[in-house]
Amino acid sequence: MFLSALRSSDIEEKEWITQKLLAYCTQNSEIERGYTPKRFAQPSYADICTIVAPKALPKRKAFDTREGLAILTHAIAHIEFSAIDLALDAAYRFCDMPAAFVIDWLEVASDEIRHFKMLSALLAHLGYRYGDFPVHSGLFEAGKRSAHDALERMAIVPRFYEATGLDVNPQIIAKLRAASHFEPAARLVEALELIYREEIEHVRKGDRWFAYLCAQRGVEKAIYFDIVARYGLQRQRPHINVEARKAAGFSCDEILKLGAKRCE
């Protein structure tokens, strides 16, 4: 079932399978996982989206126009679609992890599906659909690169990419509020506020399993910075969301090292 969900670009099929898997895993204390995980040559959205280099993505336009807001909404929807597959892949791929790990990432996948459907509804309201604008495959490539190691996957996906979303989300919301006279922009603000609250829990799950793997291997959590540097992601961000990162499990030492001016 995992393979069908991971290969499908149909969000309804992904949702149905995810709910079936989640129900099975929560109702059975032992989960059978005697298989060798497969690698994927292309993302599941390849048959509905045109994949381009990040520099070739459409330029952001005014958020109080249908096209401008659709471009932004589509970009966020693509992040959510990619996050669905990354969560499903974590539950599928790392079959030596505890059953609680599988349940956590199936729950995350379920949340991401709901986020994607919410954004798809807004796209439809604007007269567009997922796949109408080109996308990049950066998150898929990060998943491929970290497919060999659960520790690296937890460091790179929830603790780097999703945590970066916690930094960026409030800035996008602030810009959208300036365009809130345009009703669809106000709707996107509501969606992003919900996504923001739930993404804190997703990062916290990633942090918990990252800490579990560090303890299991006898390494310090500071290895996070070594992994991030090895992936070429060590740049400091100009805006660090201290409170959200703390709520998601980051220590003040980590947050200051990431570039925050203060953390208490």
| Cβ neighbours for 26, distance < 8 A, ≥ 6 positions apart | 103
What phi, psi does 135 have (nearest 5°)? -135, 165
Length of the chain: 264
Q: Could you tell me if residue 119 is inside a domain?
A: yes
Which domain does 253 fall in, by range? 2-29+40-257
Q: What mean pLDDT value characterizes the chain?
A: 95
pLDDT at 35: 80
pLDDT at 87: 98
Q: Could you tell me if residue 262 is inside a domain?
A: no
In this prediction, residue 60 has a pLDDT band, given cuts at 50, 70 and 90, of confident
Q: Could you tell me if residue 173 is inside a domain?
A: yes
Residue 164: burial class (beta carbons within 10 Å; 0-12, 13-18, 19+): middle
Q: Could you tell me if residue 184 is inside a domain?
A: yes
Q: Could you tell me if residue 96 is inside a domain?
A: yes
Q: Could you tell me if residue 34 is inside a domain?
A: no
CA distances from 257 to 102, 114, 225, 243 (A): 31, 34, 9, 15
pLDDT in tens, 84-132: 999 999 999 998 899 999 999 999 999 999 999 999 999 999 999 999 9
Q: How many domains does the chain have?
A: 1
d(CA 216, CA 214) in angstroms, rounded, equals 5
Q: What is the pTM of this model?
A: 0.96
> In the 3-class helix/strand/coil scheme, how is 116-185 assigned residue by residue?
HHHHHHHHHHHCCCCCCCCECCHHHHHHHHCCCCHHHHHHHHHHHHHHHHHHHHHHHHHHHHCCCCCHHH
pLDDT in tens, 23-53: 988 888 666 667 889 999 999 999 999 999 9
d(CA 18, CA 229) in angstroms, rounded, equals 33
Q: Could you tell me if residue 35 is inside a domain?
A: no
CATH code of 151's domain: 1.20.1260
Q: What are the tokens at 81?
A: 């679609």
Q: Could you tell me if residue 67 is inside a domain?
A: yes
